[in-house]
Amino acid sequence: MQPAPLRLKKDQERRLLAGHCWVYSNEVDTASTPLKGLEPGQPVQLLAQHGRWLGHGYANPHSLICARLVSRRRELPLGASLLVRRIRSALALRERLYPRPFYRLVYGEGDGLPGLVVDRYDDLLAVQLTTAGMEQRRADVIAALEQVVRPRRIVLRNDTAVREQEGLAQGIEWVLGGDPGEIELTEGALRFGIQPAGGQKTGWFFDQADNRLALARFGASRRALDVCCYLGGWGLQAAASGAERVTFVDSSATALQRVSANAARNGLGERLDMLHGDAFEVLRALRDDGARFDLVMLDPPAFIKRRKDEREGTGAYQRLNRLGLELLEPGGLLVTSSCSFHLGREAFLHAVQGAARRTGRELQLLLTGAQGPDHPVHPAIAETAYLKTFFLRAQPSD
């Protein structure tokens, strides 16, 4: 399909010229280039009002982000050659940063490939195509990954809800090799069993890896609490750092079973407790029972998925952190995270501080974490920087 022209309204090219790559539907001059005439995923040439060529992209007239720019070079449209170049560049960065092949290989806009996410588990790749433009180039994406990485297995984890916004069906499909079931990855000195075709996201949360490893800086704890633990990444790192007892909380009984298996895999199975249930309810029960911990780790799912949820979601973060602080011993460490882009870093810290004031606690911010370098932030696209993790000490009582 030949690229169609997509002309912007007057002065609407400023964001693209500043480095951004999204075009919103209200920025398009629909009188000269009607959006309704475009097919989802159709390649386009982006033009300023006066005809200045801005770049190659792809469109989706049914999405609020109606076009994404993928190349600012006329001779390099989105196709096999560009995909190979960008994936090769992404691989070179990860190989420089990571001694073992476990990382996010491609992070959408951060790697110049909007609509494409690839996680690498050694010789297995878990791929998400989140836009109609990338879905249309599915065969080229798979071919480029095979050429550059030479994996033995590729699974399409296209079961993410964001595809609905693009009018795409959801599903999981093996396009190279078969489902091996559980595989093993390493993080620091620990080994974890994961299921790339059945776990949350693509099976693992690589974005928190550096933050989890940073726990070792703060020494061993006596009693640690890992809330929304999933497969136990935080709590098992705490146990490996010498925690005498770790309590894991999750709403999924299956996740807790897999925490136990991962603990046994690392010889840590004798120091664990499992609590199944809603995080808020479990924390209230622990508080009412007088439980106390000197390390509390809170890593919930996003409470704010849309801007209109900001007020309610911020309140949820504050309540969760208040409960966590009520369980924390004086002098203890609170590690708290938010993966909600719509809650900025300062707003999140303000919410945690508000929770502290309600519990009469004074906090010291010791370390601020973000997503790891395998999730590179695009300097012009704030949405690519979503993860906030704070390491805070609760001041001992005077």
Catalytic residues: 339
Contact 380, 19 (CB under 8 A): yes
Measured distance CA(384)–CA(374) in Å, rounded: 12
Q: What angle do CA 18, 24, 25 make, to 5 degrees?
A: 145
Token pair of 302 as six digits: 């996003």
Look at residues 82, 1, 87 and name the one whose alpha carbon lies nearest to residue 41: 1
Look at residues 294, 325, 330, 296 and name the one whose alpha carbon lies nearest to residue 222: 294
Look at residues 134, 140, 119 and name the one whose alpha carbon lies nearest to residue 168: 134
Beta carbons within 8 Å of 212's beta carbon, 6+ residues apart: 187, 188, 233, 234, 237
Beta carbons within 8 Å of 262's beta carbon, 6+ residues apart: 190, 191, 192, 193, 231, 232, 236
Instruction: For the chain, give the number of residues.
Output: 398
Q: What is the bridge-based pairing of β-strands 223-227 and 293-298?
A: parallel
